[in-house]
Amino acid sequence: MQVEYPKPKWSERFLLLDMLEGLKTTLRELFRPKVTIRYPEERLDPADRFRGMFRFSFDRCIACKLCAVACPIDIIYIDVHDEQREVDGKMKKLKVLDRYDIDVKRCMFCSLCEEACPTKPKSIWLTTKTYELATYDRNGLYFNMQELEYWENRPEFPGLPPEVEGGEPPKQIPGAAE
Amino acid sequence: MNAWMTYLVWPLVKFLVAFIIVQVIVAAMNWVERRLLGFVQARLGPNRVGPKGLLQIIADPVKFLLKEDIVPASAEKVAYFLGPILPLIPTFLVYCLIPFGPPPTFVAARVNVAILLVLALTSTGVYGIILGGWASNNKYSLMGGLRSAAQMVSYEVPFGLSIVGVLMMVGSLDLVKIVDYQATNVWNFIPQIVACFIFFVSMNAENNRTPFDLPEAESELVAGYHTEYSAMKFAFFMLAEYSAMLVNCCLLVSLYFGGWTLAMFGHGLTSSALRHWGWIGGLIGTAIFFVKVMTFMLVYIWFRATFPRFRFDQLMDLGWKWMIPLALGNIFVTAIFILAGQERLMYWIGIAVLGAVVYYMKPKRVHASRVSEA
């Protein structure tokens, strides 16, 4: 298809006024604020609905396992036992969480577990504005319930284990292997 | 013994001082250029090494020195080594001839045909580029070298012709005399505004700078003539390019913008006024000179940030069909005005052209409705 351009005016052909226009534009841009964010020093605050790292509240959780059922890739592992406990002077049968682990390395942050949670407020939620999840080790992305509750003061990664020929296998977090 | 001092030792010392200052400026220009280009493109440029990224000036040469120096197996060895060195020597030699300040102390070698020598020396820079491109035994390098040769030869003509108008007005080839003439009359860029424009454009083309950087066009030729060069040899090419830029800016300032003086019609900081204060006046003159030169280096970067690259035939068109006739016409018109004894009239023409440009460049208020339409 032939594109019809407007015929250039005399001033456009001979006086190079467009070039002056270009120079003007670049000069203006020189003094404009820049868009770069110097990441480690400056950070953008994610939006309120941003799905970041999980947060878990042991006190709110009623151990109903609905989140584990809702999870499409089954990465939430829950173990529960029943316990007789005295609440308000009466003996009641309560479910007590033994284990609440999430294998975050396989998670796709779909937030279905959060939607399935029946407690109010939710006892598992993802809107934490934390996105710095990188670790040096696969096992560093497997979180148990203490870590999920207190991930903010997660301990530093101590470094990779020394590679020894025929040495001990890499350390496994207990319960990680199914 | 005295003759040895005046003719050998002192010029050498002056040359060395000028050389070191110029090298520092060239190293700094690399950082300034990357930073300013970043600013224009809404980013920050190199800002991690040292305060504001200033240590980049040291980090770059260190990196060049430590890199592996690769010579292609099928390269023509002697020519390959000569390639980066040849453009360096003439650009360094030119610094002897440029008056950085009032003449007795601040010019390494005052020659009465300085401009001719400068033109002769700078135009030999193309040999290194051709040799380097040919010796690399790489078709992209060869193409880059050939393009560079064609471009530099064709822009040499308007480059030289644009100076002729100034020479006719001043009546001398001596750079010192040209500067003094401008201090007692008007700076040459006002009567010779067309010549000044041609000089600036062809000086951009001579240095293979961005609107005319066809020899190293990344999108077509990988990196042009320095594709096969690495480490210090590549650094030499960059050094030659930036030194040539600085030389041309020095020439532009000396020819059209009053050199080290800050005076018109003999009022202000003329050479005699500066000489009155001894060596402090000389240093002030040098400072004025370098401020002007750096301004034009910034204009270079501004042009690079603004204009897209020419096509090769467009480049040749601009050189042969526009720049050369314009330069010849400028000589003709200047000759007529000089014959008629009406040089003052040229001042008014120059001022009118400058005024029109400034009027066009001034920021206009755009109505909001027009913005939304576009």
- Percent of chain B past pLDDT 90, that is, above it, reads 1
Shortest Cα–Cα distance, A42 to chain B (Å):
14
Coil/strand/helix, residue A89 = coil
The chain A residue lying nearest B40, using CA atoms, is A30
Q: Which residues of B touch A20 (CB under 8 A)?
A: 357, 360-361
Instruction: Confirm if A78 and A100 have CB atoms less than 8 A apart.
Output: yes
Confidence class for position B373, pLDDT limits 50, 70, 90: very low
Mean pLDDT, range B117-124, rounded to an integer: 86
What is the average pLDDT across B170-196?
85
pLDDT value, residue A72: 92
pLDDT for position B82: 85
Choose the most confident range, by mean pLDDT, from A45-49, A87-91, B114-118.
B114-118
Tell me the average pLDDT across B176-186: 84
Summary mean pLDDT of chain B = 83
What range does the domain containing A137 cover?
55-153
Please give the pLDDT value at position B328.
Answer: 92
From B114-123, B175-184, B206-215, the region with the lowest mean pLDDT: B206-215
pLDDT band at B370 (very low <50, low <70, confident <90, very high): low
Our count of domains for chain A comes to 1
Looking at the domain assignment, is residue A125 inside a domain? yes
For residue A92, the surrounding DSSP H or E stretch is strand A90-103
Give the gap in angstroms from C-alpha B67 to the nearest C-alpha of chain A: 28
Provide the residue type at B45 as one letter.
Answer: G
**CA A106, CA A102: separation in Å to the nearest integer?**
9
A38 vs B41: CB contact, 8 Å cut-off?
no
Identify whether A91 is part of a domain: yes
Residues of A in contact with B47 (CB under 8 A): 38
Partner residue facing A22 (CB), from B41, B307, B360: B307
Q: Is residue A11 part of a domain?
A: no
Q: Which residue among B36, B41, B361 sits closest to A24, beta carbon to beta carbon? A: B361
Contact A35 B43 (CB under 8 A): yes
Q: How far apart are CA B102 and CA A124, in angstroms?
A: 79
> Could you report the per-residue pLDDT of B261-309, keeping only the tens digit for each?
887 777 777 777 777 777 788 888 888 888 999 999 998 888 888 888 8
State the ipTM, two decimals: 0.71
Chains A and B form CB pairs within 8 A to the count of 41
CB contact under 8 A, B40 and A29: yes
pLDDT for A159? 53
CA B178, distance to chain mean position in Å, is: 18
User: Poorest-confidence range of A149-158, B159-168, B245-254, B260-269?
Assistant: A149-158
pLDDT band for position B244 (cuts 50, 70, 90): confident
Cβ contact (<8 Å) for A20 and B43?
no
Is residue A157 pLDDT above 50, yes or no?
Answer: no
Q: Do residue A17 and residue B302 have CB atoms under 8 angstroms apart?
A: no
Distance CA B20, CA A92 (A): 89
**Chain A positions in Cβ-Cβ contact with residue B36 (cut-off 8 Å):** 30
Question: Residue B141 above 60 pLDDT?
Answer: yes
Which chain B residues are Cβ-neighbours of A34 within 8 angstroms?
38-39, 42-44
Buried b (16+ CB within 10 A) or exposed e, B330-369: bbeebeebeeeeeeeebeeebeeeeeeeeeeeeeeeeeee
B270 φψ region: left (φ > 0), alpha (ψ -120 to 50), beta (else): beta
Å between A30 CA and nearest CA of chain B: 4
pLDDT digits (tens, 9 = 90+) for A50-71: 888 888 888 888 888 898 899 9
What pLDDT was estimated at residue A143?
Answer: 83
* pLDDT grade for B190, boundaries at 50, 70 and 90: confident
Task: Report the pLDDT averaged over residues B182-203.
Answer: 86
- Give domain status of residue A164, yes or no: no
* Candidates A18, A28, A30, partner chain B, best to mutate (most B CBs within 10 A): A30
Judge: A30–B42 Cβ closer than 8 Å, yes or no.
no
What's phi and psi for B337, nearest 5 deg?
-65, -40
In a domain, A162, yes or no: no
- Measured CB to CB, residues of chain A less than 8 Å from chain B are 17, 19-20, 22-30, 32, 34-36, 38
Flag whether pLDDT at B140 surpasses 80: yes
- pLDDT for position B374: 42
CB contact under 8 A, B39 and A34: yes
Q: Would A103 be classed as within a structural domain?
A: yes
Which residue is closest to B322 within chain A, CA to CA? A14
B252: pLDDT strictly greater than 60: yes
What is the C-alpha to C-alpha distance for residues B166 and B269, in angstroms, rounded to an integer?
21
- Residue A172 scores a pLDDT above 60: no
Which whole number is the average pLDDT over B318-342?
Answer: 87
With beta carbons under 8 A apart, name residues in chain B contacting A36.
Answer: 42-44
Under an 8 A CB cutoff, do B43 and A26 touch?
no
Chain A residue closest to B363 (CA)?
A24
Neighbouring C-alpha atoms within 13 Å toward the C-beta of A98: 6
| DSSP sequence for B180-213 | HHHHHS--TTTTTHHHHHHHHHHHHHHTT-GGG-
Q: How far apart are CA B281 and CA B276, in angstroms?
A: 7
How confident is the model at residue A12, as a pLDDT? 65
Nearest by CB to A30, from B40, B43, B303: name it. Answer: B40
Question: Which comes out higher in pLDDT, residue A122 or B360?
Answer: A122
Task: Look at residue A102 and tell me if it is in a domain.
Answer: yes
Q: Phi and psi for A93 in degrees, rounded to 5?
A: -90, 120
**B298 backbone dihedrals φ, ψ, rounded to 5°:** -65, -35
Q: Which domain CATH number covers A132?
A: 3.30.70.3270
Task: Report the b/e string of A60-95 with b at 16+ CB within 10 A.
Answer: ebebbbbbbebbeeebbbbeeeeeeeeeeeeeeeee
pTM for the model stands at 0.76
Is residue B43 very low, low, confident or very high in pLDDT (cuts 50, 70, 90)?
Answer: confident
- pLDDT at residue B334 above 80? yes
Whole-angstrom distance between the N-terminal and C-terminal Cα of chain B? 75
Q: What is the mean pLDDT of chain A?
A: 77
Which residue in A has a C-alpha nearest to residue B359's C-alpha?
A: A20
Structure tokens at A127: 């809107």
**pLDDT tens figures, A92-110:** 888 888 888 888 888 888 8
Q: Which residues of B touch A32 (CB under 8 A)?
A: 42
**Do B263 and B276 touch, CB atoms closer than 8 A?**
no
Kindly determine whether residue B305 and residue A38, on different chains, have CB atoms separated by under 8 Å. no
Closest Cβ–Cβ partner in A19, A20, A34 for B42: A34
Mark yes or no for CB contact B302/A27 under 8 Å: yes
